[in-house]
Structure 1
Amino acid sequence: MKLLSLNRAASAPIQTLDGEWVTSAIRKRPAEGPVAVGPMGLDGDEQADLTVHGGLSKAVYAYPSEHYPFWQTVRAQAGVADWQAPLPWGAMGENLSLSGLLEGQVWLGDRLCFDDCELVVSEPRQPCFKFNVALGFKHAVKLMAQSGYCGFYLAVQRPGRLQAGEAFRVVPGPREVSIPELFKLAMRGR
């Protein structure tokens, strides 16, 4: 398992697909070099709406890189103007672009152990309308709900530094509730 990219963004105005302007930090971009990780997340990263993103339990958002081809394909099918351009790491709004760890392998309480930092799985992401903006078409949220390609939030167990390219290991938690189970439950109520 590997950390392919560390991604962050400042809050900035973005235009919704309906033409309205909102503030968001969903447009994450890869960071260079090591990045400090504290209790509230990556140094230099922001969340625009702390009622639904960020905080101690949702300090870091991880997303499996294995889902990127799916999103590239559905963007093409949706007729997104720049669908041929490869999606850059961070396009899903994630802080950590991971390889080798899918939602079906992740349970609440699992720990992702890096050399200098430890993160603990806290919950699945629940997509909002800003995900549609990030991917450029109006049904992205619905497709995330249907596919289960949601990624997961992490709390910072041990602050430290992370760097793209480093390996990590998963230390299992209690294995009582999986990310897919919790995501399905959350999406049922929406």
Structure 2
Amino acid sequence: MRLISISAGKVAPLFGNHHPNYKSVASAIRKNVVSDLENPISVEITALGVLGDEQADLSVHGGIEKAIYVYPSEHYAFWNELLTRETKKPVDLQRGAIGENFTIEGLAETEVFVGDRLQIGVLEFVVVKLREPCFKFNAAMGYKGASKAMLQSGFSGWYLRVLKTGALNAGSVITVIPGSRETSIAQQNQKLLNNRNQKDLWE
């Protein structure tokens, strides 16, 4: 298990006809890689996440409890195939495209539980909750069904709180320190999916 890349982004207008009330909305979902395996630059990780990263709506992203968004690299094949089929044009998403700060390999939602600690390099984090996709994710992907596809697939990723700050670079090994292991990210995802289906809460 290791960290493949670290990404950060700035708040900017996000366009797309993916919500009845918005034609353009502020978002920092578009992230750029600042450290990867080819160029493993050390990046400062603060209590609020990757130094220089921004969030447009702190009620749903960012802050102490959602400082870092983690996404498994293994899911990219799913998104490239789905978006290529649905948008009728070739899609090859680059790391950070899902809006994540840490792109990782070797660890999935079924194996990660709320309260687990992740030691990445010399830094330490705790798993807080899954990522709940919204219409901004649809707009960023250019596909109105992206949020629904994220929940249906279970490929949601998860948020971390930073326990130990400092410098971190791509290529760092990830070690899981189990917590109480009562609720996995996959179980959280299934519960949210069921609730949205029951209440028909799809954008």
Same-fold call, TM > 0.5? yes
Q: TM-score, normalised by structure 1?
A: 0.94
Structure 2 counterparts to residues 40-189 of structure 1, below 5 A: 40-81=48-89, 83-84=90-91, 86-189=92-195
Does structure 2 retain, via aligned residues, the 8 Å contact 1:12–1:23?
A: yes
Task: Give me the CA root mean square deviation.
Answer: 1.3
Cα displacement (A) at 1:188 = 2.5
TM-score (norm 2): 0.89
Distance 1:89 1:115 in 2: 20
Unaligned stretches of 5+ residues in structure 1: none
Partner residue in 1 for 2:3: 3
Distance 1:53 1:80 in 2: 31
Contact 1:80 1:136 survives alignment (8 Å): no
**One-letter code aligned to 2:142:** G
How far, CA to CA, are the matches of 1:59 and 1:119 in structure 2? 10
CA distance in 2, matches of 1:39, 1:30: 20
Q: How many Å apart are 1:80 and its aligned residue?
A: 4.8
Question: Gaps (5+ residues) in structure 2?
Answer: 36-40, 197-203
Deviations 1:73-94 (A, max 9, x none): 001110254x24x211001000
Q: Deviations over 1:54-89 (max 9, x none)?
A: 1111110000000000000001110254x24x2110
- Contact 2:3/2:120 (<8 A) preserved: no
Task: Report the CA distance between 1:115 and its aligned residue.
Answer: 2.5
Aligned with 2:63: secondary structure? coil
Write out the 4+ residue segments of structure 1 that deviate beyond 3 Å after TM superposition: none
Does the Cα contact within 8 Å between 2:16 and 2:142 map onto a contact in 1? no
What is the DSSP-based 3-state SS (H/G/I as helix, E as strand, rest coil) of the residue aligned with 2:4? Answer: strand
State the one-letter code of the partner of 2:116.
D
Give the equivalent residue in structure 1 for 2:32. Answer: 29
What is the Cα deviation at residue 136 of structure 1?
A: 1.4
**Alpha-carbon distance between aligned partners in 1 of 2:88 and 2:95, rounded to the nearest angstrom:** 18
Residues of 2 paired with 1:114 and 1:139: CA distance? Answer: 33
Q: Tell me how far 1:160 sits from its aligned partner.
A: 1.4
Amino acid at match of 2:152: Q
Aligned-residue identity in percent: 45
Distance 2:115 2:168 in 1: 20
Q: Secondary structure at the match of 1:30?
A: strand
Distance in 1, Cα, partners of 2:147 & 2:163: 30
Equivalent residue pairs, number = 188
- Helix, strand or coil for the counterpart of 1:78? helix
